[in-house]
């Protein structure tokens, strides 16, 4: 209901700002349905903007029919309705399902049984790879020498991986100088501020992109180079924060 109320409010604002100002006709000869002439189509248009389905065409038509300042309305709709309200509502719904699943799991549990909900001869412990690959006592030696050699190699690889769990990319030990340097860089506040600055600049370049840019212009070249730069910066940030 709150989401519907937000759509209703923005629909009324859209009718007040852009109502009966669209004179765009489609190829079929009928008026474009994405308009703010009536409350019904205004609410449908706002809902389309929130879903992100071809919303940029509505933006271009609105700017062509009124003024470039109409983009402020679309920014307000997307930020308030999509990125803020929808994410909050989805989080509430997911939390409700998780609580319901947890409650059903406790409700189905037999009070006379232990808390693990397992009874009889069922073993609740999940076997590890080492247990699955290790030979069982008393079992018949049905494997050939080739199979045993393959299993031994897998055991060695698993054992090596287990010993290097704390290593970054299984290459850099916790005492590695480069890894210690990366950890010190991450601990500085300036690192986060620099990343935030690149995020802001990336948002600016995204806002600069538009269909009217000539493919061979300097502006297009600048945007393409900036995309590669931002991709490299964010990749380095991900590697530093995730593995180092």
Task: Give residues with Cβ within 8 angstroms of 168, minimum separation 6.
Answer: 176, 179, 243, 244
Phi, psi of 52 (to 5 degrees): 80, 10
Tell me the pLDDT band of 138, cut-offs 50, 70 and 90. Answer: low
pTM above 0.75, yes or no: no
Average pLDDT for residues 7-19, to the nearest whole number?
A: 87
Average pLDDT for residues 212-216, to the nearest whole number?
A: 80
Tell me the pLDDT band of 153, cut-offs 50, 70 and 90. Answer: confident
Which is higher by pLDDT, 37 or 131?
A: 37
Q: Residue 214: pLDDT above 60? A: yes
Task: Give residues with Cβ within 8 angstroms of 78, minimum separation 6.
Answer: 49, 50, 55
| Dihedral sign computed on CA atoms, order 224, 227, 233, 238 | negative
User: Each residue of 36-65: b (16+ CB within 10 Å) or e?
Assistant: bbeeebbbbbbbbbbeeeebeebbebbeee
Coil, strand or helix: which one is 142?
coil
pLDDT of residue 230: 92
Q: Residue 111: pLDDT above 60? A: no
Tell me the pLDDT band of 229, cut-offs 50, 70 and 90. Answer: very high
Tell me the pLDDT band of 106, cut-offs 50, 70 and 90. Answer: low
Start-end of H helices in 22-134: 39-51, 55-65, 71-77, 87-107, 129-133
């Amino acid at each position: 209901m709150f989401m519907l109320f937000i759509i209703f409010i923005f629909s009324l604002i859209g009718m007040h700002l852009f109502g009966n100002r669209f004179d765009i006709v489609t190829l079929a000869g009928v008026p474009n349905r994405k308009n703010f002439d009536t409350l019904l189509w205004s609410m449908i248009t706002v809902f389309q903007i929130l879903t992100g389905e071809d919303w940029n065409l509505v933006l271009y038509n609105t700017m062509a029919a009124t003024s470039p300042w109409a983009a402020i309305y679309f920014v307000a709709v997307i930020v308030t309705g999509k990125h803020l309200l929808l994410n909050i509502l989805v989080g509430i719904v997911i939390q409700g399902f998780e609580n319901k699943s947890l409650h059903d799991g406790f409700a189905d549990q037999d009070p006379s049984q232990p808390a693990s909900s397992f009874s009889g001869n069922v073993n609740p412990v999940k076997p590890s790879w080492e247990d699955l690959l290790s030979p069982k006592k008393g079992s018949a030696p049905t494997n050939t020498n080739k199979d045993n050699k393959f299993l031994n190699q897998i055991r060695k690889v698993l054992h090596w991986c287990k010993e290097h769990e704390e290593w970054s990319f299984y290459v850099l030990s916790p005492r590695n100088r480069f890894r210690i340097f990366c950890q010190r860089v991450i601990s500085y506040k300036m690192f986060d501020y620099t990343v935030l600055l690149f995020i802001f600049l990336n948002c600016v370049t995204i806002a600069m992109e538009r269909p009217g840019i000539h493919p061979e212009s300097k502006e297009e070249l600048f945007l393409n180079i900036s995309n590669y730069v931002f991709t490299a910066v964010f990749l380095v940030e991900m590697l530093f924060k995730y593995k180092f």
